[in-house]
Amino acid sequence: MTTEATLPSTTASPTARQVWTRSRGVLLAFVILLAAGIAIAAVRSSSQHGRLDPRSPDPYGSRAVAELLDDRGVSTRVVTTADAARAAVGPDTTLLIAAPDLLTPRQQSLLHTATENSGGRTVLIAPESASVGTFAPGVTADLATGFDSTLSPDCELPAARRAGTADTGGIRYSTADPEADACYPSDGLPTLLRIPAASEDGDTVLLGAPDILFNDRLDEQGNASLALQLLGSRPHLVWYLPSLSDTSATDTGERSLFDLLPSGWLWGTLQLFIAAALAALWRARRLGPLVRERLPVAIRASETVEGRARLYRKADARDRAAGALRSTTRTRLAPLVGVAPAQAHAPEALLPALSAHLQGDGQAPHSLLFGPPPSDDAALIALADQLDALEREVRRS
């Protein structure tokens, strides 16, 4: 017996339009998130490339300062490790630390030990609370920056008085040291602080903002004069740019996982949690109060069939679906051909009795009722149609 297989549309098989309607919101959110990530990465990459690097001609680089110092006989050498910076300090050297807050506490302590009695000058660019306490004990950083970045010196430091107004507005500092030179005050607190060494000719300079070193800001106000005087007081300038490849960054103290993560990752994780909560709210099936129903609740057979069909389809359980169809068909055919219900699932009992009611050699009923599971959804649908046709033929006979 052969029957022609068809591929009818069923509720368990969503159409391409339904799949697109359900998934387009998630895809759109993913595309927006991906585009935003690429844009932020591009902006950060372009803004950070060559920042405070004396070899970079970018707007936020510092090549112009290095060339002006070279014209005045001051050599500039770039180092990227704390060990190289420590080895270079001396009475005739100015050590500039471009990002002191990126250093580990161990690196900060070693550098401070090497520079405090060296007789040279140490210039810290915008140090915050993470480093200012180590490099300049007794000094505190106030992160509440003012709105005006161009400030007047208002101090007796010769370099500041000669330079005049400069773009130093940024982090402010406070200290109780009477020997310190507090310059360029903003709301009463200085943005440039010079602390002389206790027993040597050296000193430490805290600069609240890096603007006077940028290529695109060097020709404004008295930025060039102030930068040249702060960095050109010694014949040698060592420009320390901390790098991730520095092996001395390995801290001997124990640090937690959150200490190792940059702050940006924590904010990014918070944003992902918020996005997940919004997505869950958007996909919520039930936005109103629960409705009480009297039990037991009558459920239509078609809903049960559709629900089980969807579960089978989601799990790709075609073998279970085909087994259920064949078992039900054998159970219904057994009484029609005179086979006991207990023998309905035995091929040697069901097939001979079934062949007596059909035309042919009985090979087709064997493959339909006891054959292998279908290979795809189309074969499963065809099997269901053929089982229905087989049962109808037996009933007619």
If one looks up domain 63-245 in CATH, what number appears?
A: 3.40.50
Nearest to 73 by CA among 237, 238, 239: 237
Q: Which residues in the chain land under pLDDT 50?
A: 1-11, 46-47, 362
DSSP 8-class letter at 362: S
User: What pLDDT, on a 0 to 100 scale, did the predictor assign at position 63?
Assistant: 94
Q: Is the Cβ–Cβ distance between 53 and 241 less than 8 Å?
A: yes
User: What pLDDT, on a 0 to 100 scale, did the predictor assign at position 287?
Assistant: 60
For 294, 302, 306, the CA distances from 297, given in Å and listed in that order, are 7, 15, 17
Nearest to 189 by CA among 174, 177, 175: 174
User: What pLDDT, on a 0 to 100 scale, did the predictor assign at position 377?
Assistant: 87
Distance (Å, whole) CA 101 – CA 116: 18
The DSSP code sequence of 96-157 is EES-GGGS-HHHHHHHHHHHTTSSSEEEEES--HHHHHHHSTTEEEE----S--EE---S--
User: What pLDDT, on a 0 to 100 scale, did the predictor assign at position 363?
Assistant: 52
Estimate the crossing angle of helix 363-370 against helix 377-396, to 10 degrees. Answer: 130
Residues 6+ apart with CB under 8 A from 129: 140, 141, 143
CB atoms within 10 A of CB 246: 19
In the chain, domain spans: 63-245, 307-396
Signed CA dihedral, 386, 391, 392, 397: sign only: positive
User: What pLDDT, on a 0 to 100 scale, did the predictor assign at position 49?
Assistant: 59
Cis peptide before 296 (omega within 30 of 0): yes
CA atoms within 13 A on the CB side of 51: 15
User: What pLDDT, on a 0 to 100 scale, did the predictor assign at position 253?
Assistant: 53
The two structure tokens encoding residue 51: 């920042």
Long-range contact pairs involving 45-52 (C-beta distance under 8 Å, separation at least 24): 52/98, 52/99, 52/125, 52/210, 52/213, 52/214, 52/241
